[in-house]
């Protein structure tokens, strides 16, 4: 996809991966609408990004279906249409299942998975009508393996991948092959929501920490949008999770996960504690 003058909505666009992605999109000549829950960061980002191109910013809790529907209409009014939706908004609560309240886990599911139903339903009819569009959903490397201390988060990211793949085939069945879908699968990023989390030796040699959010922004813009890749994974070695799972007996694969230090990876986590 040529991104010049494409109209794009980015959820959770005021910080982290979302903000880095918006910078790349504006550099490509796209017109961008940013939704974010954090009013303060949204204002800062608006002041910064409006110097780079045409950008609209609105405070949005993506778990509020009525607000999503309201802002989707505003996005279409302001930009004319929406060609690309990037579902980036997400929340992380670390800790074992019994260590957090039901409310924390419910919020994790609502933000990371349920909200995608609202945002996609808001923009998909227009994409179907034009038989053109691309929906990017941020999944995770944890969608390929189980990660203790991230059980509910991991479940949502497996769900995001399954939802996206199913919708891709729904578009195919409906003859809407001009509507594309991609998932993005980042491993641990050195700063931000997953600060402190890391694989043990030798896992950190195979899948080192991602140095900054722009690595993932580049995967979104260059690999998913411009090249049409279905599920870019960063680092690329995350692909080994799927290949080895398919080739090895399950008991061997589980032992390999332990050897790589994945079960211990969240013990050093010191990201946002909420």
Please give the C-alpha separations between residue 139 and each of 25, 41, 202, in angstroms, as whole numbers. 20, 23, 24
Instruction: Annotate 102-117 with DSSP letters as a single string.
Output: HHHHHHHHIIIIIHHH
CB 184 within 8 A of CB 220: yes
Give the bridge partners for 34, in sequence order.
10, 57
Verify cis geometry, omega within 30 degrees of 0, for the bond prior to 202.
yes
Helix, strand, coil abundance in the chain, percent, nearest 5: 50, 15, 35
Which residue, among 103, 216, 93, has the nearest Cα to 155 in the 3D structure?
93
**Cα separation, 241 vs 152, whole angstroms:** 19
Which residue, among 140, 212, 130, has the nearest Cα to 171 in the 3D structure?
130
At 152, which helix (H) or strand (E)? helix 151-173
Which residue, among 52, 54, 40, 42, has the nearest Cα to 11 in the 3D structure?
42
CB 208 within 8 A of CB 234: no
Beta strands at 7-11 and 31-36: parallel, antiparallel or unpaired:
parallel
Return the number of other C-beta atoms located less than 10 Å from residue 226's C-beta. 13
Active centre residues (catalytic) = 153
């Amino acid at each position: 996809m040529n991104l010049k003058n494409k109209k794009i909505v980015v959820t959770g666009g005021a910080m982290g991966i979302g903000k880095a992605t918006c910078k790349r999109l504006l550099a490509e000549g796209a017109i961008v609408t940013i939704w974010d829950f954090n009013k303060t960061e949204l204002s800062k980002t608006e002041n910064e990004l409006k110097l780079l191109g045409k950008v609209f910013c609105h405070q949005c809790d993506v778990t509020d279906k009525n607000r999503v529907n309201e802002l989707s209409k505003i996005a279409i009014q302001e930009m004319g249409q929406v060609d690309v939706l990037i579902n980036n908004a997400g929340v992380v609560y670390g800790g074992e299942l019994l260590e957090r309240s039901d409310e924390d886990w419910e919020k994790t599911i609502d933000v990371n998975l349920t909200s995608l139903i609202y945002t996609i339903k808001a923009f998909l009819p227009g994409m179907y009508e034009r038989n053109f569009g691309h929906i990017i959903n941020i999944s995770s490397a944890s969608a390929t393996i189980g990660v203790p201390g991230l059980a509910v988060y991991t479940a949502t990211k497996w769900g995001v991948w399954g939802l996206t793949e199913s919708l891709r085939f729904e578009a195919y069945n409906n003859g809407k092959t001009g509507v594309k879908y991609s998932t993005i699968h980042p491993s641990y990023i050195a700063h931000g929501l997953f600060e402190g989390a890391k694989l043990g030796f030798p896992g950190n040699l195979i899948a080192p920490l991602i140095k900054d959010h722009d690595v993932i922004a580049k995967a979104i813009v260059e690999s998913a949008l411009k090249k049409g890749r279905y599920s870019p994974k960063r680092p690329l070695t995350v692909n080994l999770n799927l290949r080895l799972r398919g080739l090895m007996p399950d008991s061997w694969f589980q032992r390999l996960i332990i050897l790589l230090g994945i079960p211990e990876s969240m013990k050093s986590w010191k990201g946002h504690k909420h």
